[in-house]
């Protein structure tokens, strides 16, 4: 079974921390040489079956008009969050030229990878981007986001439509620059009911996947806490559906059918556990996947910064060893 880990280029690696000691996260993202360098770091060290371009899902929001800073340990802060129709109207419908540093990083990373493993591009999905843009950062309850959705549905749909158009072009540009698959991160969409997902989110996600159909690369559609949204996410699009640890892989497969592959779903906290516990959990995920094809081993969310590298090594090796049987 192929294996890669979300945020596999990250703070848990000393090679990455060495780069970040000299450069902010935005500097790394905006300097193609650095972004390509950290993208390749985990491939040099671990037997991952794919690389994922180093970037941040919020990058498109900046040229659209939002002022974003990343506070160490605090996550992103958006200093002019979106709260009104005027705020949405002011957002620029960028076409990708403003994010050419990402496309260039994709080119450089492809060159550095030299065919060893495929390179995955990615973008944040409209709902998840909107939640940051509206809340002004991370959130627990998404009160402002849902309030805008319920109070101003026209403004909401206009915002998500803009985001969907920007994301589509952004992903196309990554693919044209060499990304051999792309993942859409709808990380926080699991805070919604199925009814809300269908009404407020699904059409915009569908626009993206429909727009990418001609690109002929695998399209991964990922979210967390999506147990009651899976069928609706599949309807929206994607050739691979990514799930977190809350949904057993066999249940995901049973519900989503043979037409899509399933990606997931080890809880990233497991990688902080003792070796025997990691082994037990990796085996359990593989057992849920069974012997059928159509699964990609991943975590259910990004690697935690405090993860010991030797645990990542052990987990990836174990996936290879057990799935070769």
Rg (CA), the chain: 19
255 labelled catalytic: no
CB of 112 to a copy of itself, least distance (A): 32
The answer to whether 74 contacts a copy of itself (rule: CB under 8 A) is no
Distance separating alpha carbons of residues 245 and 29, to the nearest angstrom: 29
197 labelled catalytic: no
CB of 97 to a copy of itself, least distance (A): 35
Contacts to a copy of itself from residues 2-41, by CB under 8 A: none
For a copy of itself, give the closer residue by CB, 22 or 140. Answer: 140
Binding mask 264-283 for a copy of itself (x = CB under 8 A): ---x-xx-xxx--x------
CB count in 10 Å sphere of residue 118: 19
Distance separating alpha carbons of residues 96 and 263, to the nearest angstrom: 28
Q: Give buried/exposed letters for 281-315 (b at 16+ CB in 10 A, else e).
A: bbeebbebbeeeebbbbbbbbbbeeebebebbebb
- SS3 (DSSP) at 183: strand
- Give which of 275, 310, 316, 304 is closest to 12, Cα–Cα: 304
For a copy of itself, give the closer residue by CB, 22 or 276. Answer: 276
- SS3 (DSSP) at 261: strand
The answer to whether 85 contacts a copy of itself (rule: CB under 8 A) is no
The answer to whether 251 contacts a copy of itself (rule: CB under 8 A) is yes
Q: Site size for a copy of itself, by CB under 8 A? A: 33
Q: At 89, list the tokens.
A: 């109207």
Task: State which H helix or E strand residue 69 sits in.
Answer: strand 68-71
For a copy of itself, give the closer residue by CB, 24 or 306. Answer: 306
The answer to whether 151 contacts a copy of itself (rule: CB under 8 A) is yes
Out of 22, 140, 254, 325, the residue judged to bind a copy of itself by CB under 8 A: 140
Q: Which residues are catalytic?
A: 7, 11, 20, 56, 132
Task: Please give the residue ranges that form the binding site for a copy of itself (CB under 8 A).
Answer: 138, 140-143, 146-147, 150-151, 190, 192-196, 225, 227-228, 245-248, 251, 267, 269-270, 272-274, 277, 284, 304, 306
């Amino acid at each position: 079974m192929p294996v890669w880990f979300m945020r596999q280029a990250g703070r848990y690696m000393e090679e990455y921390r060495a780069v970040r000691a000299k450069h902010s996260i935005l500097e790394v993202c905006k300097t193609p040489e650095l972004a390509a360098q950290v993208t390749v770091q985990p491939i040099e060290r671990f037997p991952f079956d794919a690389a994922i371009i180093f970037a941040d899902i919020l990058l498109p929001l900046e040229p659209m008009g939002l002022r974003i800073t990343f506070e160490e340990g605090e996550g992103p802060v958006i200093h002019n969050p979106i709260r009104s129709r005027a705020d949405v109207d002011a957002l620029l419908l960028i076409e990708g030229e403003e994010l050419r540093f990402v496309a260039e990083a994709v080119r450089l990373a492809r060159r550095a990878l030299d065919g060893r493993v495929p390179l995955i591009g990615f973008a944040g999905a409209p709902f998840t981007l909107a939640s940051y843009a509206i809340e002004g950062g991370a959130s627990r309850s998404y009160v402002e986001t849902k309030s805008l959705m319920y109070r101003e549905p026209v403004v909401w749909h206009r915002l998500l439509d803009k985001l969907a158009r920007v994301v589509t072009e952004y992903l196309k540009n990554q693919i044209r620059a060499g990304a051999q698959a792309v993942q859409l991160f709808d990380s926080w969409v699991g805070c919604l009911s199925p009814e809300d997902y269908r009404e407020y989110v699904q059409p915009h996600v569908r626009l993206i996947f429909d727009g990418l159909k001609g690109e002929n690369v695998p399209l991964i559609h990922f979210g967390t806490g999506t147990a009651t949204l899976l069928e609706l996410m599949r309807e929206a699009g994607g050739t691979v559906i990514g799930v977190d640890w809350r949904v057993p892989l066999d249940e995901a497969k049973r519900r989503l059918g043979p037409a899509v592959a399933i990606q997931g779903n080890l809880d990233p906290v497991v990688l902080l556990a003792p070796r025997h516990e990691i082994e037990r959990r990796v085996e359990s995920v593989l057992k849920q996947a069974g012997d059928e094809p159509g699964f990609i081993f991943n975590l259910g969310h990004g690697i935690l910064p405090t993860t010991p590298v030797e645990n990542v090594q052990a987990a990836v090796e174990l996936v290879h060893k057990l799935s070769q049987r």
